[in-house]
């Protein structure tokens, strides 16, 4: 049996970066930048402006009572130079008139009639945001190699950049196989079950930053599987197949991969999800996942997600890992690394993990209720109550 690390390393050796494409900033959120920095096209802010509603003046004229010599709002053109000994009413974001060096907030001012204002002493520069204070024109602004966040797209926007180069989303062909599968929403004939893997794999592809391409599900039929794999390999960057990879009489996925390309079949020391078919067709990686829906999702997390991220230039699983203490003993297979479905909570004395429900590889609701996978290593016969394990957070902690 291969370890999770060995299997991952072999799979990752097939990760070819997708090319860069230019997208509008409107579509850039969540995309992975293909450049490590951008050059500021303008100063940010582009002119000195007020950070408060108040009065612009010269600090040297205060404290005192000053005549009002006009008003400037956000979006107004620059006023003429401020006469010494006067003040102008100014709004947040409005340009500081030449000659003024400070702003006194409206809350600290007292009107004297309609056209004079009494102001306390202030420090020169108060409430003035200097031109280029945040970024100077021509400055290199680094972009982290991670999906663009709302704040980062805002930075790009403020720099005057309307388009950004990002990695093309890897297209992942998704194929569910099995004679027993019916579409969700269809009624079940005898012996049928609803296909849960097509939607879960498509959702996981999206979550990892890829674009799913769902192929019509096929039965346990070698020719049909071959036809789908041929189509998928022609149109996608990689293929993910569920079901039919094991050693049953009707498990044809391995033969199909073998006939169309190269196949590696591995038993991986992981629980759930021992059998995994890996290969390539026309240079496109193909991963055959076990059909049990929990196994399919866990092995997707361990192997498909990292491959997809590798194609985007991203390292690792992109998950937060925390050390969590298990509160209940959960038996497992000693030879395999278990990924227990748990609910992790933050307690006063650290992270705690509780099993989210039954740990069977078809018990989807426990996976849905879980917010983490708790990693109990090979060589242990159980996850022990009171012991601390690595928890892979699949989402936020309540």
User: Which residue ranges make up the site for Mg ion (CB under 5 A)?
Assistant: 178, 243-244
Using CB under 6 A as the binding rule, whether residue 212 contacts ligand AMP is answered as no
Return the structure tokens found at 247: 């050693």
Indicate the residue among 243 and 273 with the shorter CB distance to Mg ion: 243
Q: Which of residues 288-307 bind ligand AMP (CB under 6 A)?
A: 290-293
Indicate the residue among 121 and 193 with the shorter CB distance to ligand AMP: 193
Tell the smallest beta-carbon distance from residue 245 to ligand AMP (Å).
6
State the binding partner of 196 from ligand AMP, Mg ion, none, CB within 5 to 8 A by kind: ligand AMP
For the chain, the straight-line distance linking the first and the last C-alpha, in angstroms and rounded, comes to 36
Using CB under 6 A as the binding rule, whether residue 266 contacts ligand AMP is answered as no
State the binding partner of 188 from Mg ion, ligand AMP, none, CB within 5 to 8 A by kind: none
Tell the smallest beta-carbon distance from residue 363 to ligand AMP (Å).
12
Tell the smallest beta-carbon distance from residue 358 to ligand AMP (Å).
15
Indicate the residue among 18 and 198 with the shorter CB distance to Mg ion: 198
121: left (phi over 0), alpha (psi -120 to 50) or beta: beta
Number of other residues whose CB lies within 10 A of the CB of residue 9: 12
Q: Which of residues 177-196 bind ligand AMP (CB under 6 A)?
A: 178, 180-181, 193, 195-196
Alpha-carbon dihedral sign for residues 320, 325, 329, 333 = positive
Using CB under 6 A as the binding rule, whether residue 204 contacts ligand AMP is answered as no
Using CB under 6 A as the binding rule, whether residue 363 contacts ligand AMP is answered as no
DSSP string over 221-275: -HHHHHHHHHHHHHH-SEEEEES--SSSTT--HHHHHHHHSEEEEEEBSEES--E
How would you class 39 by CB atoms within 10 Å of its CB: exposed for 0-12, middle for 13-18, buried for 19 or more?
A: exposed
The β-bridge partners of 343 are 354
State the binding partner of 181 from ligand AMP, Mg ion, none, CB within 5 to 8 A by kind: ligand AMP
Q: Which among 4-12, 21-29, 127-135, 238-246 is the span making contact with ligand AMP, rule CB under 6 A?
A: 238-246
Using CB under 6 A as the binding rule, whether residue 210 contacts ligand AMP is answered as no
Nearest residue to ligand AMP, by Cβ distance, number only: 291
52 closest CA partner among 128, 133, 148: 128
State how far the Cα of 55 lies from the Cα of 4, in Å rounded to an integer. Answer: 65
- How distant, in Å, are the alpha carbons of 327, 347, 361, 367 from that of 357? 13, 20, 11, 8
Indicate the residue among 26 and 179 with the shorter CB distance to ligand AMP: 179
249: Cβ contacts below 8 Å, ≥ 6 apart? none
> x/- contact string, 315-334, with ligand AMP (CB under 6 A)?
--------------------
Indicate the residue among 243 and 288 with the shorter CB distance to Mg ion: 243
- Within a 13 Å sphere around the CA of 16, how many CA atoms are in the beta-carbon half? 10
Full strand arrangement of the beta sheet holding 110-112: 102-105, 54-57, 87-90, 64-72, 116-119, 110-112
Indicate the residue among 54 and 244 with the shorter CB distance to Mg ion: 244
Using CB under 6 A as the binding rule, whether residue 272 contacts ligand AMP is answered as no
For the chain, give percent helix, strand, coil, nearest 5: 20, 35, 45
> x/- contact string, 112-151, with ligand AMP (CB under 6 A)?
----------------------------------------
DSSP string over 124-188: TTTTEE-TTSSB-TT-EEE--SSPPPHHHHHHHHHTT--EEEEEPPPEEEEEEB-TTEE-TTSPP
Tell the smallest beta-carbon distance from residue 287 to ligand AMP (Å).
13
Using CB under 6 A as the binding rule, whether residue 228 contacts ligand AMP is answered as no
> x/- contact string, 246-265, with ligand AMP (CB under 6 A)?
x-x-----------------
- How distant, in Å, are the alpha carbons of 219, 326, 360, 384 from that of 380? 38, 14, 18, 9
Using CB under 6 A as the binding rule, whether residue 218 contacts ligand AMP is answered as no
State the binding partner of 271 from Mg ion, ligand AMP, none, CB within 5 to 8 A by kind: none
Binding site for ligand AMP (CB under 6 A): 176, 178, 180-181, 193, 195-197, 242-244, 246, 248, 290-293
């Amino acid at each position: 049996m291969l370890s999770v690390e060995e299997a991952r390393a072999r799979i990752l050796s097939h990760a070819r970066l997708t090319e860069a494409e230019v997208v509008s900033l409107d579509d850039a959120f969540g995309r992975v930048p293909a450049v490590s920095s951008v050059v500021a096209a303008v100063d940010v802010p582009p002119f000195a402006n007020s950070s408060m509603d108040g009065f612009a003046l010269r600090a040297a004229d205060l404290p005192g009572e000053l005549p009002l010599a006009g008003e400037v709002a956000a979006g107004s053109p620059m006023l003429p130079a401020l006469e010494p000994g006067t003040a102008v009413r100014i709004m947040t974001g409005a340009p500081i008139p030449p000659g003024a060096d400070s702003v006194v907030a409206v809350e600290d001012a007292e009107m004297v009639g309609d056209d004079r204002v009494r102001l306390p002493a202030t420090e020169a520069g108060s409430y003035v945001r200097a031109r280029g204070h945040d970024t100077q024109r021509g400055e290199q602004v680094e972009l982290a190699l991670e999906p663009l966040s709302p704040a980062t797209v805002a930075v790009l926007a403020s720099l005057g950049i309307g388009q950004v180069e990002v990695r093309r989303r890897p297209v992942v062909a998704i194929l569910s196989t099995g004679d027993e599968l019916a579409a969700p929403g269809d009624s079940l004939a005898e012996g049928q079950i609803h296909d849960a893997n097509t939607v879960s794999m498509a959702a996981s592809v999206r979550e990892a930053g890829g674009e799913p391409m769902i192929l019509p599900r096929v039965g346990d039929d070698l020719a049909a599987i071959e036809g789908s794999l041929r189509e998928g390999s022609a149109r996608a960057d990689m293929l993910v197949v569920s079901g039919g990879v094991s050693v049953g009489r009707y498990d044809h996925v391995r033969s199909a991969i073998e006939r169309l390309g190269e196949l590696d079949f591995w038993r991986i020391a992981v629980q759930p999800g021992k059998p995994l078919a890996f290969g390539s067709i026309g240079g496109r990686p193909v991963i055959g996942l076990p059909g049990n829906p929990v196994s399919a999702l866990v092995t997707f997390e361990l192997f498909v997600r990292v491959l997809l991220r590798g194609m985007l230039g991203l390292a690792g699983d992109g998950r937060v890992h925390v050390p969590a203490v298990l509160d209940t003993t959960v038996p497992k297979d000693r030879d395999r690394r278990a990924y227990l479905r748990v609910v992790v909570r933050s307690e006063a004395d650290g992270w705690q993990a509780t099993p989210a429900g039954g740990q069977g590889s078809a018990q989807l609701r426990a996976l849905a209720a879980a917010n983490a996978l708790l990693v109990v290593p090979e060589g242990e016969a159980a996850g022990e109550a009171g012991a601390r394990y690595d928890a892979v957070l699949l989402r936020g902690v309540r």
